[in-house]
Amino acid sequence: MTNKVYLNYDQKELDAQYNARAKVPSFDAFVTQWLNRSEQVISSLSCRLDVAYGDSKNDTLDIFYPHGGGPAPVLIFFHGGYWRSGDKSWFRFLAKSFVEHGATFVIPKYTLFPDQNMDKLIDQCRRAVIWTHNNATEYGGDNSRLFLSGHSAGGHISGMMMATDWSSRGNLPNDTIKGLIGISGLYDLEPIRLSHVNKVLRLTKACASRNSPSKKSMSVKPPNTIIAHGMLESEEYRRQANYYIDRLHKAGGNPISFAVEGHHHFSILDAFANPRHRFGSAVLSQLGLA
């Protein structure tokens, strides 16, 4: 009889639930495609790359903005990679649809594990949000319409940003965040702590708890929120989404759930950035750009 590590999963089963790349053998091909598409976007859109938002070498972000100027809603996107891999340069291609529909699109870089711990990573991402709020108008952005999005680990980061008390962090309005789009996000870190992923993260139980969006109190009523996962993803990604949706409901929000048919953990980004897909269309509607 095998020992259960989390819910009804033994160690091998839990590790498999959170091994998204193993379920998509073509992951390297996805990255190559993303980079190629990102190079095309850089040459076709107005942008500023590697803009400093702090003093660290990794405190940089990319800004893509409409040709016609603003004021435009601002969508910040935090990339995934289990907080230990990936780079903002992989995901520049996502900007195309949003900028063409009238948004300013911002992709922050953050320091990866093991050269980071979770508390510092979240603080670093808060600095990126604060900088974007304070400087958005320079790039045609409207800081009164600031939205967050994030994929996988980036969904976790976005959730932590939404739970932030901004009046005590950067002296911003507590309703600074006007909406969130979580894409295959990780909102409860306890199963992550118990999985193979923690060999690099080294989360303690206390650290996992204080950095889990689903366990954080919120200083304001949750804004408009879309929580999406791919129907081809593991059961744990679906459970994570539903668990966070339940938490948002209890906090007084009215989140929209998207189970995206035919998509796995990586292809779901194509649906996110496709204005003709019902998911991408819903995101544009949240931004006021439908």
Domains of the chain: 4-287 (3.40.50.1820)
Average pLDDT over residues 208-236: 95
Q: What percent of the chain clears pLDDT 90, i.e. is strictly above it?
A: 94
Q: Does residue 69 have a pLDDT over 80?
A: no
Query: 30-48 pLDDT, tens per residue?
Result: 999 999 999 999 999 999 9
Task: Say what the pLDDT of residue 219 is.
Answer: 80
Q: Does residue 21 have a pLDDT over 60?
A: yes
Contacts of 207 (CB under 8 A, 6+ apart): 117, 118, 119, 189
Cis peptide before 66 (omega within 30 of 0): no
Task: Say what the pLDDT of residue 1 is.
Answer: 57
Contacts of 145 (CB under 8 A, 6+ apart): 71, 72, 73, 74, 178, 287, 288
Single pTM value for the model: 0.97
Task: Say what the pLDDT of residue 161 is.
Answer: 97
Q: What percent of the chain clears pLDDT 70, i.e. is strictly above it?
A: 100
CB atoms within 10 A of CB 49: 14
State whether residue 3 is helix, strand or coil.
coil
Task: Say what the pLDDT of residue 157 is.
Answer: 98
Nearest Cα neighbor of 125 from 107, 105, 103 is 107
What value does the mean pLDDT of the chain take?
96
